[in-house]
Structure 1
Amino acid sequence: MSRCVAVRVLRLGAVPYAEALRVQERCVAAARAALPAETVVLSEPAQPVYTWGLRGAPGAAAAAALRARGAALVAARRGGHITFHGPGQLLAFPVLDLRRRRLPLRAYVAGLEALVVRLCRRLGLGTARALPPPFTGVWMGDSKLCAIGVHCRNHITSHGLALNCCTDLTWFEHIVPCGLEGKGVTSLSHELGQHVAVSHVLEPFLDSFQEVFDCTLVSSEDPGD
């Protein structure tokens, strides 16, 4: 694919998870209306929230216990089990047209994994890797660094990935992250031994995105563009 394909970048900063979802849905509606611009929505969750995908919500008692810890609970239209989103985490929601890109869904997920692996190498984490299906995401050993859960309807993607930068990992201790028993969770800060804020990884993330998805990125400040 030629680099003449433009992808808008919406940097929301630290916002509630629900707000990032609303912006994403406006971008999805525009894409389904055949407007030409694809979009990647970037944000950092401003408050702790547990979300789950198509494989089931937590039971009533488990949900009450999570709320008691001060987290919100939100159902998401993506694949996967329950996971955590919160401050110190980069959320990326690409809204791409896979039919126009002639890209199968599994290849798209592999592309998301590949861009995070590239990002990790840029930061000095050469052992970051993707695992074969049915595992998804990017891993450091047996610990997941980046979770991936996507949705695709009428060839338009939504949701995407959550990369732990300086996330408080203790929030994951109250769930089985992504439904994977016996696996851990890690962050860039933990692996690099220094504080890595979301703002520190935005530019290398976008460089990696541009390389993997072979596009030109165009910054936009207006979600309604």
Structure 2
Amino acid sequence: MAAGKTTVRVVNLGRVSYGRALEIQRQCVRRHLEASSRFPNTLLLCEHRPVYTTGIRQQPYPPEEELRLKLLGADFFRTDRGGLITFHGPGQLVCYPVLSLACFKKSVRWYVGELEQTVIGLCSMFGLDASTSPDTGVWVGDSKICAIGIHCGRYITSHGLALNCNTDLSWFEKIVPCGIVGKGVTSLSQELGRDVTVAEATPYLLQAFSERFQCHVVSEDTAVQMPINTGG
């Protein structure tokens, strides 16, 4: 761990299309990679409109299957993150950390493990016993509550995690989530027997992240002070 605590800024994008959030992530990554830029480590928080995404481990998704999913009312994207197909949508807290691991630890394996432990810490704040498994992500029993899929180039991270808060889980029934057969998907609301919104879960995520990554988290209501374009 680098000496001292790193400051990580939080930008809440609200409910946004996957394509728009992807564009903003790419802007942030480019700023990090510019030698003259001192772009801050950033957490982009959002909810997505219904979308299915695939990762780099996915074989080319059959066009007829892509069409079937789109006819359900969802978008479809092929991405450069790790992992296989998953769903993002309303009621899901999505966090895209765009970080320079040089400020933390230059290890992708360490980073993924810390994201998992962050969510496990959040779940414990809600009284839930969550854990890891040989499959990436965070689980409550045999059901995944949080998917994790990242990209890292030159130790700059993008993509991230998606925590089911009060997500409509029926969207997952249309696919084999993350390519894992025989296991389920769950949410904070389902496990706790009450409605847990993204707004309720967000401060717990930020607290758990700051504790796990030993950083100062600075929340901003808007991106006005951030050198990125969140319009559109």
Range class of TM-score, shorter chain = over 0.9
What's the CA shift for 1:218?
A: 1.7
List aligned pairs for 1:50-69, cutoff 5 A: 50-56=52-58, 57-69=60-72
Using the alignment, how far apart are the partners of 2:218 and 2:28 within structure 1?
A: 15
- Please say if residues 129 and 138 of structure 1, whose CA atoms lie closer than 8 Å, have aligned partners that are also in contact: yes
**How many residues of Structure 1 are paired with residues of Structure 2 in the alignment?**
221
C-alpha distance in 2 between matches for 1:36 and 1:101? 15
User: 1:169 Cα shift?
Assistant: 0.5
For residues 1-225 of structure 1, the aligned pairs below 5 Å read 1=1, 2=3, 4-34=5-35, 35-45=38-48, 47-56=49-58, 57-125=60-128, 127-132=129-134, 135-220=135-220, 221-222=222-223, 223-224=226-227
Give the conservation status (yes or no) of the 8 Å contact 2:92–2:167: yes
Is the Cα–Cα contact under 8 Å of residues 54 and 78 in structure 1 kept in the other structure? yes
Moved over 4 A (4+): none
Kept in 2, the 8 Å contact 1:146–1:163? The answer is yes
Residue 3 of structure 1: CA displacement?
5.0
* Length-normalised TM-score, structure 1: 0.94
Alpha-carbon distance in 1 for matches of 2:69, 2:211: 39
Q: TM-score, normalised by structure 2?
A: 0.91
Greater mean alpha carbon deviation, residues 8-17 or residues 27-36: 27-36
Contact kept? 2:50, 2:88, Cα under 8 Å: yes
Percent sequence identity over aligned pairs: 49
Secondary structure class of the residue paired with 1:9: strand
The C-alpha deviation readout for 1:144-196, integer Å capped at 9, x for no partner, is 00000000001100000000000000000111100101111000100000001
Could you tell me how far apart the structure 2 residues matched to 1:140 and 1:200 are? 19
- Structure 2: give runs of 5+ residues left out of the alignment: none
Computed over aligned residues only, the root mean square deviation of the Cα atoms, in angstroms, reads 1.3
Q: Any idea what SS the aligned residue of 2:191 has?
A: helix
Query: How far apart are 1:224 and its partner, in Å?
Result: 2.5
Kept in 1, the 8 Å contact 2:28–2:39? The answer is: no
2 CA distance for matches of 1:99 and 1:91?
24
